[in-house]
């Protein structure tokens, strides 16, 4: 089925190249950065926003993200123009697809950079067709992400950017330095829409025990024990956050369960006012870091060194067991992720109470 989908995607891309012929002149110093991944990917790409001062004043800079992350940037008032695309609509609605591509091509970008490190066909299609008469570049794709026609898409870029040793954030910073000649900071920053949450405790810590992929979730009994012990130690409860409703914390007097009950902006607001944040490898962990909240990440080793830590100055505390299979990209050879689940609630608790 994946091969059929990739074939269809490549045929649509080829059809788009015929319709949107490379013509017109690109405007100098008009750059588009593209990352259409999940919430965490959008936050990582906010390195561009956090370093907007390094771009020459005469240049025009654009950042294209997936629409689901839009609430995190509603209050941005800087010089970079943020654009959004609804990938579901793009995939299913040909009119939306071609209208979006036409609007991007009218901007006549001189350079387009695909910031995704796990590119799929839609990411490549948008970046390549948006380039029009300009140059398009992409980072080399995750070698563990096998997909048909990947080489054909790569061949249509002006160049493939090789990864340097280090995290995704460090690689984007390296790219920005090559583009501007100035050294950027390995920091992220978000600008969420204002949001008010009712019934929040006067003081609390935020916890995110769930993730988009089950393998990235620390055992729930560990999280329950940790949250209860932290609430008893500090004398204030936890606010539990996730995009989907989960009843594991229902009825707990040490936690307010807001899973499935907030918008993305609401979750960001809850995190921003928390005494600290503790969570798995998820978009909410990236949000907490971008907001400057004291952060504790129970992340395991599946993407260690590639996603976390951001760099050697990363202020967050991370928990994992470093096994010989570290950085397996979550292709776990065990029945469960030992690099994650061998972390004990006691060691996380002891670290938090010494740092908060």
Query: 136-193 pLDDT, tens per residue?
Result: 999 998 766 666 678 888 999 999 999 999 999 999 999 999 999 999 999 999 999 9
Domain ranges of the chain: 2-180, 205-355
**Sequence-ordered alpha helix ranges (H) in 141-251:** 150-155, 168-180, 220-234
The pLDDT value recorded for residue 18 is 44
The pLDDT value recorded for residue 12 is 53
Span 288-299, average pLDDT: 98
CATH class, 205-355 region: alpha beta
Mean pLDDT of the chain: 91
Percent share of the chain, pLDDT over 70: 90
Which pair of structure tokens corresponds to residue 285?
A: 């962990």
CATH code given to domain 2-180 = 3.40.50.2000
The pLDDT value recorded for residue 182 is 96
- CA 12/CA 4 separation, integer angstroms: 12
**pLDDT 10s digits, 16-31:** 544 445 554 444 589 9
**At 8, is the secondary structure helix, strand, or coil?**
helix
Question: Which residue in 311, 301, 294 sits closest to 334, CA to CA?
Answer: 301
- CA 41/CA 206 separation, integer angstroms: 21
Write down the pTM of the prediction.
0.91
Element (H, E) at 113: strand 111-114
Q: How confident is the model at residue 2 (pLDDT cuts 50, 70, 90)?
A: low
**pLDDT 10s digits, 252-268:** 899 999 999 899 999 99
Which of 96-105, 182-191, 217-226, 328-337 bottoms out in mean pLDDT, i.e. has the lowest? 328-337
- pLDDT greater than 70 at residue 73: yes
**pLDDT 10s digits, 112-133:** 999 999 998 899 999 999 998 8
- pLDDT greater than 50 at residue 35: yes
**pLDDT 10s digits, 230-247:** 999 999 999 999 988 888
């Amino acid at each position: 089925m994946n091969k059929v989908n990739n074939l269809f995607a490549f045929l649509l891309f080829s059809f788009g190249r015929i319709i949107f012929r490379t013509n017109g002149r690109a405007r100098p110093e008009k750059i588009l950065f593209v990352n259409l991944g999940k919430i965490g990917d959008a936050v990582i790409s906010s390195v561009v926003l956090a370093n907007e001062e390094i771009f020459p004043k005469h240049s025009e800079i654009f950042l294209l993200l997936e629409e689901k992350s839009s609430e995190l940037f509603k209050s941005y008032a800087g010089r970079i123009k943020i654009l959004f695309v609804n990938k579901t609509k793009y995939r299913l609605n040909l009119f939306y697809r071609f209208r979006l591509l036409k609007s991007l091509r009218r901007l006549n970008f001189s350079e387009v950079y695909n910031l995704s490190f796990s590119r799929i066909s839609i990411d490549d299609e948008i970046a390549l067709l948006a380039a029009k008469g300009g140059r398009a570049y992409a980072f080399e794709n995750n070698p563990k992400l096998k997909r048909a026609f990947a080489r054909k898409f790569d061949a249509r870029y002006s160049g493939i950017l090789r990864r340097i040793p280090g995290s995704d954030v460090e690689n984007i910073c390296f790219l920005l330095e090559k583009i501007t000649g100035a050294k950027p900071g390995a920091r992220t920053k978000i600008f969420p829409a204002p949001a008010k949450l009712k019934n929040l405790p006067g003081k609390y810590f935020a916890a995110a025990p769930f993730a988009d992929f089950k393998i990235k979730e620390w055992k729930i009994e560990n999280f329950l024990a940790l949250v209860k012990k932290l609430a008893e130690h500090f004398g204030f409860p936890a606010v539990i956050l996730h995009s989907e409703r989960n009843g594991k914390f229902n009825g707990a007097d040490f936690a307010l369960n807001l899973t499935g009950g907030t918008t993305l902006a609401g979750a960001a607001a809850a995190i921003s006012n928390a005494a600290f944040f503790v969570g798995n490898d998820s978009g909410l962990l990236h949000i907490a870091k971008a907001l400057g909240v004291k952060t504790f990440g129970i992340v395991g080793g599946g993407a260690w060194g590639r996603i976390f830590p951001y760099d050697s100055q990363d202020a967050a505390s991370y928990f994992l067991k470093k096994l010989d299979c570290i950085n397996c990209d979550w292709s776990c050879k065990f029945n469960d992720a030992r690099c994650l689940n061998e972390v004990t609630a006691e060691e996380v608790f002891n670290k938090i109470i010494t740092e908060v």
